[in-house]
Structure 1
Amino acid sequence: MTQPFDEPFDHFRAWLAEAEASEPNNPTAMSLATADAQGRPSCRMVLLKGVEGGGFVFYTNTESHKGRDLAANPRAALCFHWKSLDRQVRVEGTVEPVTATEADAYFASRARGSRIGAWASQQSRPLADRRTLKRAVAHYGFRFGVGEIPRPPHWSGYRVLPERIEFWTDRAFRLHDRFLYTREGEGWAVERLYP
């Protein structure tokens, strides 16, 4: 990459398409960094489920560690690293919940076992043993039988609305290519950064 795109979402979609063709596993995997009300950071891997509504969308249990962080401090950072392409994308911005309609639609698209798991798991809280989790899965499997499985009230999605997006490409002798897009009103300013 020697020149940036005019718009960072076009840039990202082009790189994601290349990653989907070359990454051996989970090209949509991204690290998600959050911080609690005291500023203590936390980071974990999640899967990108869409680039829409001006942001990067993922879904989770809203009562999880990340959900509690985002309730207290609705800012986050994302990092995509595609080793097969020697590329990385970093995103920083504010976070908003997706709409109930979006969450319902995505939840309905998930595998049945994943939907039951969303009801059974008290994500991020202490678990006595694996058998307790299996009993919860069996309970909800019996409860819903072969019928519809509604989205749990504690399960939804978030949209990271970027203020900054940096695209990084590995180059020889650590002379990497870096382009930083910064939100300016409705548009974006872009600049090249030193490696």
Structure 2
Amino acid sequence: MKTDIRNIRREYSRGGLTRKNMSENPFIQFQQWLEEAINAEVNEPTAVIVGTVSEDGRPSTRCVLLKELRDGEFIFYTNYESRKGKQLANSPYISLTFLWHELERQVHVEGIATKVSPEVSDEYFKTRPYKSRIGARISPQSQPISGRMEIMQAFLRESIRFAGHEVKRPENWGGYAVTPNRIEFWQGRESRLHDRFLYTLQSDQSWKIERLAP
């Protein structure tokens, strides 16, 4: 590379975190930060990096969109036969990372993923744009294909098939609800002395809050 990336850095100075300003409930704190990200019009405020683990213990990450916060759970949707779907079927342990560059903030979540009910998946699927519903039906997500033409032809055939009819959710597509046991809030600060607060779920279902070293 011609550019020396070792020297790419900037100071963070938008704000800070103090214990007295942190909610006792991490979900309330997260909702507040998400609302602030949305109101600040950050790029893709609901984008989240999902980390799963393969059968041989190797980590795998990709980005999806958070679609709901419900009863203390983070919910996203995907193809159950995708790489992440197969990994979650083998091991339900999962991590979520939200990164809002414009606000110099991150939120890291660790927990357990379980499938939502078919009724919840059906409810959300009906709200998706028509083309997204068709795409969910025809895409063998994460599987090799011969070329883009293969997927476009499958999309066209399925679009014709469902023309004028309700597009039903395929059984291999649906939601995951992530129940967290660890949530960290990170705020960038000057000189890399960042503010970090960790919420850890206790046996009595209360949350322990600690400041972490940057």
**TM-score with structure 1 length normalisation?**
0.97
Residue of structure 2 equivalent to 1:21: 39
- Aligned mate of 1:116, from 127, 134, 137: 134
Correspondence 1:194 to 2:209: no
Q: 3-state SS of the aligned residue for 1:109? A: coil
Deviations along 1:12-39, one digit per CA (max 9) or x if unpaired, are: 0000000001244210001000011211
Contact persistence 2:26–2:183 (CA under 8 A): yes
TM-score normalised by length of structure 2: 0.89
Contact 2:42–2:100 at 8 Å: present in 1 too?
A: no
What's the CA shift for 1:56? 0.7
Q: Structure 1, residues 83-131: CA drift from partner, whole Å, max 9, x if none? A: 1111000000111111111100100000000000001100000010111
* Secondary structure of residue in 1 paired with 2:43: coil
CA distance in 2, matches of 1:146, 1:172: 57
1:91 aligned partner: 109
Q: Distance in 2 between matches of 1:152 and 1:53?
A: 26
Q: 1:169 matched to which residue of 2?
A: 187
Aligned pair 1:54/2:78, yes or no?
no
Structure 1 segments of 4 or more deviating over 2 A?
none
Which AA in structure 2 matches 1:107? F
Long gaps (5+) in structure 2 = 1-16
The structure number with the bigger radius of gyration is 2
Task: Tell me the residue number matched to 1:142.
Answer: 160
Q: Following TM superposition, by how much is the alpha carbon of 1:55 offset from its aligned partner in structure 2, in angstroms?
A: 1.1
Deviations 1:150-189 (A, max 9, x none): 1001000101110100000001111111100001132211
Distance 1:59 1:34 in 2: 15
Count of aligned pairs:
195
Query: Aligned partners of 2:134, 2:40: CA distance in 1, in Å?
Result: 32
Q: Contact 1:23–1:82 (CA<8 Å) still a contact in 2? A: no
Match of 2:143, SS state, is coil
Percentage of matched positions with identical amino acids? 47
1:133 equivalenced with 2:151 (yes/no): yes
Superposed displacement of residue 53, structure 1: 2.6
Please name the residue that 1:7 is paired with.
25
